Structure 1
Amino acid sequence: MKHYLGKSEYHLRQKQQDYPVNYEPDKLINAHLLVCGMSGTGKSFQSSRLLGSAAQAGIEVDVFDVHDELERIPGVTACRYSQATGYGYNPLELDTDPHTGGVNRQTEYLVGLLREASPQLGVRQEMVLRNLLLDTYALAGIYPDNPPSWQRDSITEAQRKQLTDARNWAALKQYYPTLDDLKSYGRRKLTALNIGGDNPCISALEQLTRQYKRLTTLQGKYAKASSDDELDKLGKQVNTSKEHCTSSYAEFIAAMQTGRELEDMLKYDSADTLASVLQRLELLNSAGIFRANPPPFGNAQARVHQIKSLSTEQQVLFVKLRLRAIFERHKQAGATRSGTELRHVIFLDEAHKFFSKDDDDIINVIAREARKFGIGLWCASQSPTDFPDSFLTNVGSTLILGLHGSHWQRATSKLRISVETLKHIRPKQVVAVQLRKDGMADPPFGNVVVGN
C-alpha cells in the first residue's frame, strides 16, 4: 500500500520542490497509525482517504464508526447495529486453539470485559456471571478440560428458534450456546433461588443464613460485654439464636429435594445478586449486538460497523470482542512472510475511549504484537494526549491535523513535537506528520501541505 499524504512544506517553501510524502506501512516500524485533530480540521476526510486507499489496495478493513460518517468510502459495505436491525455476534463462540482458547479463556475474557465496561460490577456479580457461563457451556456438552468439545457450529436466531420449537435438544448441542441460552438458564436458577418461591429448601437455607449471621453478631457483643446484667441479657439472646439456627437447619434438611440446593446457593450467592447479573445481561443485549444474527457483509473485504446507536458501554464491549476475533484469526493464520506486510486494517473512531491501562487488554496486545500478523491499528481522535504512552511511543505514523492551544504543552511532551511545528499547522491545508521508518529511533515531525 502506498498512500499519498501531500507535499513536504519545507521542500515546497524553501527549495521550490514538489517532494511527495507517502504513508507506506511496509517501510515503517509498524502499520499502526494515529490521526488527531479537533472538530473541523478534516479528520473524517483524511481518514476516508486513507481507508479508501487500503480498500483499493485489496487490504481487509474493519471500520468501527461511532459517528456514522464513514460509510461512503469507495469499496466498503456498511452495517448499522441497533435494536431495530438486530445484527450482532454471538459472544459465546469459542477460540478452539487448545493453547490460546477454550471455555475458561472465553469466560474470563467476557467477565473481564464486563468489569472494564461496568465498574459497578462487584466481586459477587463476577462470580455469579462466571458460574452462569460455565454451566451454560456444560449444558451444551462443552467443558473446560475437554478441548474436542469446544468445536461447535455457529447458529442464527432463526435456526435456534426452529430447533427449540421442535424440542430437538440433541441437534442444538451441535451449535454454540447463545446469550439467550445464558439468560434462559439464569432465569431458571433465579426461580429456584427466589425466597418465597416454590422451593422451600432454598427459603429455609436463606433463613438459616440470616439466623447464623445474627448469632455471630450476638456472640461478638457477648465477648465484649463487661457488666453482669449485659452478659446475662446477651447470653439469653445467644441461646435463643442458637435454637433458631438449629430449627432452620432442620427445616433446610427436611426440604432438600435434589441435593444441589446448597451448591446452587454457593455458586449463585443469592437471588438479588443473580437478578442484578441478569439485569446487566439484558441491558447489554438491548441493542442486539450480542444476538446470533451476523451482519450481511457477505464476502465484503472492507466493512464499516456503524455503532452510533449503541451506548458507550456497548460500544466498548462490541469493539473489543470483534478485535479479539480478528486478532485470533490472523494469529492462527501465522506471521506474514516479510513481517511488515499489511493485510488487515482496524480503524477505531474516537479511539481513545477504547484504550485501557491493562497490558492484557486486546487493544494493547494488538498494538504490541500485531505487526507480524499483518494487522494495522488505525486510530482517530480529537487529542493525542488521551492515549497511553505505550501506544504513542510505538505507533508507526502520526498525523496531527490541528490541535486546540490548550493541548499544545502536553502534546510537545508526549509526542516530542515542537511548538514551531504546531504553529505551522493550518487545518485542511497543512498538517504535521511523523513517519517512524526502520532504523530511525525518533524521527521529527514535518509539516505537509495537503489537498482538500
Structure 2
Amino acid sequence: MRHVMGLNDFMLRKEGKEVPVVYDPARCLNSHVALIGMSGSGKTHQIKQLLRSAALGGAELDIFDVHHELDAVPGARCAMYSQATGYGYNPLVLDLDPHAGGVNRQADFIVGLIKQVTTQFGSKQEAALRNLIVDCYASRGIFADNPRSWARKEISEQERRRLMDQREWQQLREYYPTLSDLLAYAETKVLSLIFGGDNKAMNALEALAKLNARLQTLALKERRAGVQAEERSKLEGQIEAQQKRCIDAYSEAIMAKPTREAKDVLKYDSKDVLVGVIQRLQILTAAGIFNATAPPFGDAKVRVHQIKSLSDEQQILFVKLRLRAIFERAKQMGPTASGTELRFVCMLDESPKYFSEDSDDIINVIAREARKFGIGLWCAAQQPNFPESFITNCGAKFILGIDASYWKTAQQRMRITEEGLKWIKPKEVMAVKLHKEGQPDPPFVNVVVPNPGTEAGRRALAKAA
C-alpha cells in the first residue's frame, strides 16, 4: 500500500517545491492509524481514500461502519446487522489453539465483553454465566480439559432449527452450541432450581409444556374452523403419556439421591442470579448479532459491517467479537515475511466507545501484538480521546482539525506543538506524524490536503492522482 496524503506545506510555501508526504505502512513501525477530525473537517473523505488505497494494495478490510457511509470502496460487499436481516456470528465458536484458546478462554472472553458494557453485572452473575458457558459446552461433549474435544462444525440458525424440530440430538453434537442453545440451557437450569429434578426430568417437563401449548392452539382452531375430533384425541393421548414420563423421571431423580443439583446451587448461587443472567442473554439473543447465520460476504476481501441499527452496547460487543476472530485468523496464518506487511485492516469509526484500559481487551492486544501478523487497526475519532495503550503503539497519526478546547489534550497525548495545531485548516492543511525506524519521536508535518477548491489543494490532488 502506498497512499499520498498530500504535499509538504512548508516546502510548498517557502520553496515552491511539491514534496509528497506518503503513508506506507510497510515503512512505519506498525500499521496502526489514529485519525482525528471534528465534524466538517473532511474526516470521512480521508477515511474513504485511505481504505481505497488499502483495498487496491491487496489488503483485506473489515470496515465497521456506524453511519452507513463507508461502502464506496473497490470490491466492497456490505451487510446490515439488525433484527430484520438476522445476520450475526456465533460467539461460542472456539479457537483451537491449546495454549491461547479453548473453552475457558472463550468463556472468559464472553463474560469480559458483557461485563464491559453492563454496569449492573455483579460477581455472582459473572460466575454463573461462566459456569453456564462451560456446562453448555460440556453438554455437547466439548470439555475444557480435553483439547481433542474442541473441534466442531459451525451451524446456521436454519439448520439448527431443523435439527431441533426433528430431535436430531446426536447430530447436533457435531456442531458448536449457539447463543440460543446457551439461553435454553440456562432456562433449564433455573427451572431445575425452582422445581427440582435432574436434566432428564426437566426435559420431560419441557416436552409436556410444548404438548399443552399445541393443545391450546388446537382448541382455538376448533372454535374457528372445526378441527376433527380424532386429532384432538390423539394429542390428548400424547399428553397423558408425557405426563407419565414426567412422573417417572421425577421419581427416578428423587430415588437416585441426587448430588448434581446441590452442586448446581454452588455453581449458580440462586435462581435469582440465574434469572438475571437469563435476562441478559435474552437481550443479546433478541439483538440478532449473535445469530449463527453469517452475513453473505462470500469471498469478498472488503467487508463493510453496517451497524447503525445496533445500540452502542451491541456495537461494542459485535466489534470486539469480530476483532477477536480476525486476530485469531491472522495468528493462524503466522507472521508476515517482512514483519511489516499489511494483510488486514480493521477500520473503527467513532472509535472511542470501543476502548478500554484493560490490558486484555482485544483492541489493546491487537495494538501490542498484531504488527507481525499484518493487522492494521485504523481508528477515527472527533477528539483525541485515545487511551495511552493505543496511541503509544500507533505507527501513524493524522490530525485533520480539532476544536481549540481539545488542543491541550492533543498536545499531551499526541505530542504536537501548539504552533503545529495553529497551521491546521480543515480540508486544506492537516498534520501528519509517521513513526519510522531510527526516529524515536518524529515531529508532526503539516500537509496540504488534495482539494480541488484551492490552488495548493489542486497541486496536491495532481500529485496524488
| Shorter-chain TM-score tier | 0.7 to 0.9
**Aligned-partner Cα distance in 2 for 1:98–1:176:** 17
Matched letter for residue 94 of structure 1? L
Separation of aligned partners in 2, 1:93 and 1:394: 29
**Cα deviation 1:307-354 (Å, max 9, x = unaligned):** 111111111111111111111111121100110111111111111111
* Inter-CA distance 293–413: structure 2 relative to 1 (3 Å threshold): same
Instruction: Give runs of aligned pairs for residues 89-168 of structure 1, distance below 5 A.
Output: 89-168=89-168
Paired with 1:30 and 1:390, the residues of 2 have a C-alpha distance of 14
What's the counterpart of residue 369 of structure 1?
369
Q: Look up the match of 1:439.
A: 438
Which secondary structure state, in structure 2, belongs to the residue aligned with residue 67 of structure 1?
A: coil
Alpha carbons of 1:198 and 1:296: their partners in 2 closer, same or farther (altered >3 Å)? closer
Q: Does 102-111 or 66-75 show the bigger shift? A: 66-75
Counting aligned pairs with the same residue, the percent is 57
Alpha carbons of structure 1 residues 307 and 194: separation in structure 2 relative to 1, 3 Å = same
1:281 and 1:97 map into 2 onto residues whose CA distance is 27
In structure 1, the partner of 2:224 is none
CA contact 1:195–1:271 (8 Å) conserved in 2: no
Say whether 1:289 aligns with 2:289: yes
> Structure 1, residues 55-97: CA drift from partner, whole Å, max 9, x if none?
1111100011112121222321111111111100000000011
TM-score relative to the length of structure 2: 0.83
1:411 match: 410
Partner SS for 1:18? coil
Q: Secondary structure of the equivalent of 1:84? A: coil
**Structure 1 stretches of 5 or more lacking a match?**
200-252
1:423 is matched with which residue?
422
Aligned to 1:244: none
List runs of 5+ in structure 2 lacking aligned partners: 200-252, 452-465
Counterparts of residues 340-355 of structure 1 (less than 5 Å): 340-355=340-355
Contact 2:395-2:436 within 8 A present in 1 as well: yes
Task: Check conservation: 1:12, 1:19, Cα contact below 8 A.
Answer: yes
Q: How does 1:191-206 map to 2 (within 5 A)?
A: 191-194=191-194
Cα gap change, 1:198 to 1:142, in 2 (>3 Å): closer
Aligned position for 2:214: none
CA RMSD for the aligned pairs? 2.0
Aligned to 2:275: 275
Structure 1 position 161, deviation (Å): 1.1
CA distance in 1, matches of 2:288, 2:107: 20
CA contact (8 A) 2:197 2:254 kept: no
- TM-score normalised to the size of structure 1? 0.86
Distance in 2 separating the partners of 1:74 and 1:373: 24
Tell me if structure 1 keeps the 8 A contact 2:62–2:303.
yes
The 3-state SS of whatever aligns with 1:286 is helix
Q: Specify the code of the residue in structure 2 equivalent to 1:298.
A: G
How big is the shift at 1:197?
A: 11
Tell me, in whole angstroms, the C-alpha distance in 1 between the residues paired with 2:129 and 2:58: 41
- Structure 1 residues 79-137: Cα deviation after superposition (integer angstroms, max 9, x where no partner): 11111111000000000111111101101111111111112110110111011111110
Q: CA deviation at 1:196?
A: 10
Q: How far apart, CA to CA, are the structure 1 residues paired with 2:30 and 2:196?
A: 61
Q: CA deviation at 1:260?
A: 2.4
Q: Within 5 Å, which residues of 2 pair with 1:15-414?
A: 15-194=15-194, 258-384=258-384, 386-414=385-413
Amino acid corresponding to residue 20 of structure 1 in structure 2: P
Contact 2:11/2:17, CA 8 A, preserved across alignment: yes
2:22 match: secondary structure: strand
- SS in structure 1 of the partner of residue 164 of structure 2: helix
Q: Secondary structure, in 3 states, of the residue corresponding to 2:287?
A: coil
Amino acid at match of 1:381: A
CA 1:254–1:304 in structure 2 vs 1: closer, same or farther (change >3 Å)?
Answer: closer
In structure 1, C-alpha distance between the alignment counterparts of 2:254 and 2:320, rounded to whole Å: 48
